[in-house]
Amino acid sequence: MRSISDPFLKRPVFTLVCSLLVVLAGLVALPALQVENLPPIAPSRVTVRANYPGANPEVVEQGVTAILEKQLNGLERLDTIRSTSSANGSSITLNFDGGSPELNQINTQNEAAVVNRLLPSIVARQGVQVRRSSDDVLMVLSFGADRRVYRDTFLSGWVDQVVRDRIQRVPGVGSVSLSGGNSLAFRLWLDPWRLEERGLTIGDVRTALQQQNVLAALGQSGD
C-alpha cells in the first residue's frame, strides 16, 4: 500500500518547492491575522498600590500590606502573590492562572474595597490603586519644548495632567508612569522669631499647609 509521503520522497525538488510555497503563503497571510481575536496566553497580572506618606516599611507592612494580602489571598484563579513594603507605600502583585483580565481586575478591586475601612485613615482617603500590569514596556515617549516659549515646569505639568490621562484611557493600557521633568513646587522660609511670637511651631505650619492643599469636589448649578 502506497503512503501519502511516497511522492514527496521520490521527488525531493517537488517537495522543496511545496515547502517554499507554504512558507510564502504564511508570510503573505501573517499581516492579515487578527491577533486581538486570539485567546490570551500570558498569565493575567494585577498590581495593587497604596500610599502611606511618612510611614516606614515596618508600619506599612503591618498596617497596609498584611491587611490587603489577607483579603486578596482568597481570589479566584489566584496563582501567586508578591508584596513589597517600602517607605511611604505598599505594592502587591497578583498573578492569575487564566480568566478574563478585566474580571480579575474587577474582583481584586472589590476585595480591596472591603478592607478599605480597616486601613489607616490617610491611606483610605487617598484610595487603593488597582491596575492591570505587565513587565513589558509597550512604548516610551519623550517630550520637549523650546525653553524660550515654555518652561520645564509647564511642560511637566501638561504631560502629567493632560497627556497622561488621555493615554491612560486608551483601551488595553494598564498603567502610565512618568520619569524626569520638573514638578511645580514652592519653597518657604520661616521666620523663627515670628513663629515664637505667635506660639507656632514648624509642625503647625506643615499641618496648615496640608489642610489647605485639598481639591474640593464642586457641584452643579442651573435650572
pLDDT of residue 110: 92
Is 24 a member of any domain? no
State whether 150 and 113 are in the same domain: no
pLDDT of residue 221: 54
Taking Cα atoms as reference points, which of 45, 44, 46, 48 lies closest to residue 114? 48
Q: Say if 1 falls within a structural domain.
A: no
Q: What is the reported pTM? A: 0.53
Domain extent for 82 = 44-132
Q: Determine the pLDDT at residue 68.
A: 93
C-alpha span between 99 and 17 (Å, rounded): 43
| Percent of the residues in the chain that have a pLDDT greater than 90, as a whole number | 17
| Nearest by Cα to 69 from 106, 111, 104 | 111
CB atoms within 10 A of CB 94: 26
Q: What is the CATH number of the domain that holds 56?
A: 3.30.70.1430
Mean pLDDT, the chain, as a whole number? 82
Tell me, yes or no, whether 78 and 152 share the same domain. no
- Indicate whether 139 belongs to any domain: no
Check residue 134 and give its pLDDT.
66
Asked if residue 96 belongs to a domain, the reply is yes
Q: Evaluate if residue 149 carries a pLDDT over 50.
A: yes
The full DSSP string for 74-98 is: T-TTEEEEEEEEETTEEEEEEEESS
Task: Give residue 92's pLDDT.
Answer: 92
Is residue 138 in a domain? Answer: no
- Chain segment 112-144, per-residue pLDDT in tens: 999 988 998 888 888 888 888 765 566 788 888
Number of domains in the chain: 2
| Residue 12 domain-assigned (yes or no) | no
The C-alpha cell 472591603 sits at: 114
Q: Are 112 and 61 in contact (CB under 8 A)?
A: no
* End residue of a domain, out of 103, 132, 161: 132
Other beta carbons within 10 angstroms of residue 205's beta carbon come to: 13
The tens digit of pLDDT for each residue in 22-72 reads: 999 988 887 777 766 666 555 688 899 999 888 888 999 999 999 999 999
- What's the pLDDT score for residue 135? 59
Give the span between the Cα atoms of 43 and 66, in whole angstroms: 24
Same domain membership, residue 121 and residue 64: yes
Q: Establish if 213 belongs to a structural domain.
A: no
Asked whether residue 172 is assigned to any structural domain, the reply reads yes
Mark which of 70, 100, 132 sits at the end of a domain.
Answer: 132
Q: Are residues 123 and 153 in the same domain?
A: no
Q: Would you place residue 218 in the very low, low, confident or very high pLDDT band (cuts 50, 70, 90)?
A: very low
Of the candidates 132, 167, 187, which is a domain's last residue?
Answer: 132
